[in-house]
Amino acid sequence: MKIRIGAALTVGAALGIASALAQPAASNIEAHLAAAKAAAGFDFTGTLARVCIAPQTGPGRDVAPGPAPARSTWFTEPAKVFDNLYFVGTKIHSSWALTSSDGIILIDTLYEYASDEAIVGGMKKLGLDPANVKYVIISHAHGDHVGGAKLMQDRFKSRIVMAAPDWDSIEKSVNQYPNGKPKRDIVGADGQKIALGDASVTLVFTPGHTPGTLSMIFQVKDQGRPLTIAYSGGTAFNFVNDAPHFDIYINSQRKMAEAAARAGATVLMSNHSEFDNAVTKIKLMAARKAGEAHPFEIGREAVARYFKVTDECAQVAKLRL
């Protein structure tokens, strides 16, 4: 009996100590969560839900892609969104064609199953020739963005741009590319400009989501008016969840926030509609009246808030480790 009481007291004492130690961390979590919610407002609900509220997942395994889902789950019509930027993505993932005086730069390439119809077919529907795609910039080597890279490389001899660590991960993968891998081509580096005719995309190396995630800054025109886009290359926390990885991720969010502010970006884009509401905003384009703001133009302050959400939510996740 004495032993039992002693054990109970020890457990109780241990719990007391644990809760005392946990309190500052818990209040920090609440503070970062509140900051993230405030930054998200109603602009970035999808981003907030995914990285601050939904349970986190670890890195994906090196397995073959599953069967293609039904077309009705992903297909959406392509659209001209700016004078020189065209959406050729799906309901879930984005792929963008940036036209120039000397050809096209394609940004991200969806899953392999969607790439032929959405990108190649979509460009044709919009009057663009996919054979004019000179560069394909891949934000990171996950299947939902790199899936069409091999097609573009093989069929149109497009040059593929990716950061070194993500080229490495493709080369190391045993199972993820049953239909073949894109061959290592241009190694994108921090600050590098991918220039074509009168268009130029500046790469910002933002490791975290993957070791080689590339974000981007580039200009488009809306009815002749130049606008700067900050394109976030990777968002979710499906990487090794430990403090060093979260620190890398957090630093990258701050670096991209700075790059966006320096460039005067007023448009925030991501490669998932979940994070930037691309597909919904494209629908709104149809109802846009002369003189109304472009649905993608959210302003510098809102662009900054996006990176505040990912920064704060990463701090929440790190404190919860």
Three-class DSSP labels, 121-164: HHHHHCCCCHHHEEEEECCCCCHHHHCCHHHHHHHHCCEEEEEH
Distance (Å, rounded) from C-alpha 264 to C-alpha 55? 34
Rounded Cα gap, residues 165 and 150, in angstroms: 18
Closest to Zn ion by CB, 32 vs 142, is: 142
In the bound state with Zn ion, the residue whose beta carbon lies nearer, of 123 and 163, is: 163
Residue 280: how many other CB atoms lie within 10 Å: 11
Nearer to Zn ion among residue 142 and residue 294 (C-beta)? 142
Query: Which CB atom, from 274 or from 312, has the smaller least distance to Zn ion?
Result: 274
CB of 264 to Zn ion, least distance (A): 27
Please give the structure tokens belonging to residue 187: 């190694």
Which is closer to Zn ion, CB of 78 or CB of 233?
A: 233
Give the strand pairing for 79-82 and 159-163.
unpaired
Residue number of the CB closest to Zn ion reads 142
Any idea what the Cα angle at residue 91 is, between residues 38 and 114, rounded to 5°?
135
245 binds Zn ion (CB under 5 A): no
Q: Is 89 left (phi over 0), alpha (psi -120 to 50) or beta?
A: beta
Q: How far is the CB of 139 from Zn ion (least distance, A)?
A: 8
Closest approach of Cβ 137 to Zn ion, in Å?
A: 15
User: x/- site string to Zn ion, residues 200 to 239, per CB under 5 A?
Assistant: ----------------------------------------
What SS3 class is residue 241? coil
Pick the piece of the chain touching Zn ion (CB under 5 A) from 65-73, 91-99, 135-143, 301-309. Answer: 135-143
Query: Please, which residue, 142 or 150, has the CB nearer to Zn ion?
Result: 142
Return the number of the residue (84 or 210) whose C-beta is nearest Zn ion: 210
Q: Report how far residue 104's alpha carbon sits from residue 102's, in angstroms, rounded to the nearest whole number.
A: 7
Q: Stretches 96-104, 141-149, 214-222, 260-268: which one binds Zn ion (CB under 5 A)?
A: 141-149
CA distances from 234 to 43, 56, 64 (A): 18, 15, 21
Residue 93 or 134 having the CB closest to Zn ion: 93
For residues 317 and 310, the answer to whether their CB atoms sit within 8 Å is no
Burial 288-321 (b: 16+ CB within 10 A, else e): eeeeeebbbbbeeebbbbbbbbbbbbbbbbbbee
Classify 38 as helix, strand or coil: helix
Smallest distance from the beta carbon of 192 to Zn ion, in angstroms?
21
Q: Least distance in Å: CB of 215 to Zn ion?
A: 13
Q: Write down the least CB distance from residue 318 to Zn ion, Å.
A: 19
**Which of 32, 50, 93, 142 touches Zn ion (CB under 5 A)?**
142
CB of 89 to Zn ion, least distance (A): 14
Distance (Å, whole) CA 235 – CA 273: 12
Minimum Å gap between C-beta 99 and Zn ion is 26
Judged by CB under 5 A, which stretch of 4-12, 140-148, 166-174, 216-224 contacts Zn ion? Answer: 140-148
Residue 184, phi then psi, degrees to nearest 5 = -55, 130
Task: Using the minimum distance from each CB to Zn ion, give the nearer residue, 199 or 279.
Answer: 279
Count of residues of this chain found to bind Zn ion when the rule CB under 5 A is applied = 1
CB of 145 to Zn ion, least distance (A): 6
**Which parts of this chain interact with Zn ion (CB under 5 A)?**
142
